Structure 1
Amino acid sequence: MQSSLTARLAAITTAVLVTVLGGVVLAAPAHAATTYKGVLPAGTTMVAGDQLTSDNGQFRLVMQGDGNLVEYGIGNVVLYASNTTDKPGATAVYGTNGVLTLRSGGKAFKQWGSGANRGLGLILESDGSIHSVDTAVRVLWGIESFQNTVRSGTNIMPGTVLRSDASKSRTFTMQADGNLVQYVNGRATWSTHTNRNPGAWAAVQADGNIVVYAPDKRVLWASSTSRAGAGSLIVQLDANVVFYGKSDTRAWSTQKVTGLLWPVASRSITGRYGDDRGAGHTPRYHQGTDAGVKTGTPVYASGAGSVTSTVANDKTFGNYVVVKYGLTTVLTAHLSAIEVSKGQLVSPGTEIAKSGNTGQSTGPHVHVETRVNGTLKDPLTILSFR
């Protein structure tokens, strides 16, 4: 957890309740909605419109009027949802046994926790994770939600922690002392050196500039990328924090960029991006680049990323794998074997598959497709040969 559970005990027992008119709901409640700041005390029922926020308000767990319990992050990005929109008017009950239950019509239809211990509070942490703790201030269970991407036009408030993934080993933290710091495996690898400015915050501005402001709005640090335009700041799995501007190009990063690699140890190209495959082909123009290698050749990850799809026996691609690296995804297809699973973290040396001749293939090869922010690109302009 990002803060000591022992230190949170006082916050739990003196949790602040703020009454607001309305809330983030699909159907307006008849009551004045309640906001629980930092901690939801044991024995509390959340009805439509009620919400639990992190201490600085960056993360919100909302009991919506449609029955869905949803966590929103910076910029109202959905980080977690119970997927129960078919239960309008449902309530969320955090019991004294430490169990969180969704109820409708007097019946429970979804729950978290076992009830083996006495609950004390449900904490929405500064990194977006949700933890239930018992009276001894020990974690009973948790939802390890996180946010790794922040869009332009939003702020990163003091205490907020962005993470590349659920492991918590790669973080980007706007510390309470005013320092914006990148941590890798608990070690600071980059910072703005703006400590001794408690209350400072970071703005990911609409013009593409990333700025750390003092409480009196003095500029303490800036990335000097105001010409990049609106884009995304991403805490990546390759231990880099990168800002991509309006053209999806890398405008700023905390670490030196080494680039992404070609998936096989071969420079043989048997089909190029954009080749006209002739009338009757769908799509007619080749969307990737083909690596001419024999069946069984090792296929590797292109960098540090996460597997987003593994598909077997597709009519067109046969067996294929999709891996995401920041804004870039790499698809490798016509494989004879898949050696990774969805959600798995990979590095440049990870063997993810074996090449093959599956699907609509006229011979052994690996079909390689690259997309940047969803847009097809020529793989040979994105990936470097090994």
Structure 2
Amino acid sequence: MISIKSVRTKALATLVAGVAAGATLLVPSAAQASGTTTTAATAPTALNNLLLSGQSLKPGQFRRSANNLYTLRMQTDGNAVLIKGRTAIWGTMTNRKSSSLVMQRDGNLVVISGRTVVWASNTAGSTGAKLAVQDDSNLVLYNVRNKAVWTRAMVLGTLGPNRALKAGQALFSTNRIYRLMMQTDGNLVLVKNGKTALWGTGTGKNPGAWVVMQSDGNLIVYTAANKPLWSSKTAIRTGSVLQMLNTGNAVIVHGRTTVWATNTAGR
């Protein structure tokens, strides 16, 4: 295992504080934690749990699951949060006041602050898609054929600064062939077609571990107790992002420069 001394940054303290406050929680459901995706075969029809194409949630507005257990609320602080009771179990981590959550007609679910998109599901091309707040705790985007194209366990294409993957969550390539999966055993693994492992951090036997693309440009796997296990060694490159490419390569990009890669393209 590589040496990762001095990799802790203020970004971790900020992120952990946000999670504790419930503003940045990204906690998978039990089914997601076991590696499955909880989606129904067909989309629900009750309008109170759907955000239809062209609709939006302004600050204070919400959609609620049919069983009344889960609420997706556009908070006044600019964060769109899925809540069970008083506990936030998922959020967009956007925190820009006066933002709105918009189900765009092109199929992209976005948080918009003014005219700036600050978060997106990256599902443009699924014209007419709708968002469902489901009874199983999942958020699912369905296309017009009622096929799931996105769930809250998925990040498509890019993991931005200060974005984290908890156990059971994954960064997918936009063609859905490759995924960088934060496994429940603590290993971050790049998988092809859901079954072939191409690369991993070797951090298994650490249940509850999570990974974050820090604002300083470093990708780090932390234990459940927030101790570093693995690092990409790419710090001091503020604003870098992690991308899962359609070629099968996972890369960290700073501006237009690739500063780290799994070197798995074409495999």
Q: Scaled by the length of structure 2, what TM-score is found?
A: 0.54
Residue 162 of structure 1 is matched in structure 2 by 171
Distance 1:204 1:45 in 2: 28
Q: Give how far 1:214 is off.
A: 0.7
- The answer for the alignment partner of 1:192 in structure 2 is 201
CA contact (8 A) 2:163 2:214 kept: yes
2:187 aligned partner: 179
Could you tell me how far 1:248 is from its partner in structure 2?
Answer: 2.1
Mapped to 2, the partners of 1:205 and 1:93 lie a distance apart of 29
More strand as a share of residues: 1
Q: Residues 122-173 of structure 1: CA distance to partner in whole angstroms, max 9, x if unpaired?
A: 7636xxx5469xxxxxxx933303521011222222221111125x320011
SS of 1:243's equivalent?
Answer: strand
Unaligned segments of structure 1, at least 5 residues = 9-23, 85-91, 95-99, 101-119, 133-139, 258-303, 305-386
2-structure distance, mates of 1:83, 1:67? 17
Number of positions where the alignment pairs a residue of Structure 1 with one of Structure 2: 188
2:123 corresponds to 1:124: no
> Aligned partners of 2:218, 2:100: CA distance in 1, in Å?
38
Matched, 1:143 2:185: no
Structure 1 residue 78 corresponds to structure 2 residue 120: yes
* Contact residue 58 and residue 160 of structure 1 kept, 8 A: no
Q: Is the 8 A contact 1:68 1:83 kept in 2?
A: no
Q: 1:240 to 1:53 in 2, by over 3 A?
A: farther
Q: Letter of the aligned partner of 1:234 in structure 2?
A: Q
Q: In the alignment, residue 142 of structure 1 is paired with which amino acid?
A: K
Verify: 1:211 aligned to 2:225, yes or no.
Answer: no
Whether the 8 Å contact between 2:172 and 2:244 is mirrored in structure 1 is yes
Q: Which structure is higher in RCO with an 8 Å CA cutoff and minimum separation 6?
A: 2
Say what the alpha-carbon RMSD is for the aligned residues. Answer: 4.6
Q: 1:41: Cα distance to partner? A: 3.7
The structure with the larger Rg is 1
Change beyond 3 A, Cα 1:199–1:122: closer
- Give distance in 2, aligned partners of 1:25 and 1:187: 39
- Counterpart secondary structure, 1:141: coil
Deviations 1:82-137 (A, max 9, x none): 999xxxxxxx997xxxxx9xxxxxxxxxxxxxxxxxxx847636xxx5469xxxxx
The 8 Å contact of residues 122 and 131 in structure 1, kept in 2 or not, is answered as: no
TM-score by length of 1: 0.39
Deviation of residue 202 (structure 1)?
0.8
Deviations along 1:229-284, one digit per CA (max 9) or x if unpaired, are 32111000110000012x42111011166xxxxxxxxxxxxxxxxxxxxxxxxxxx
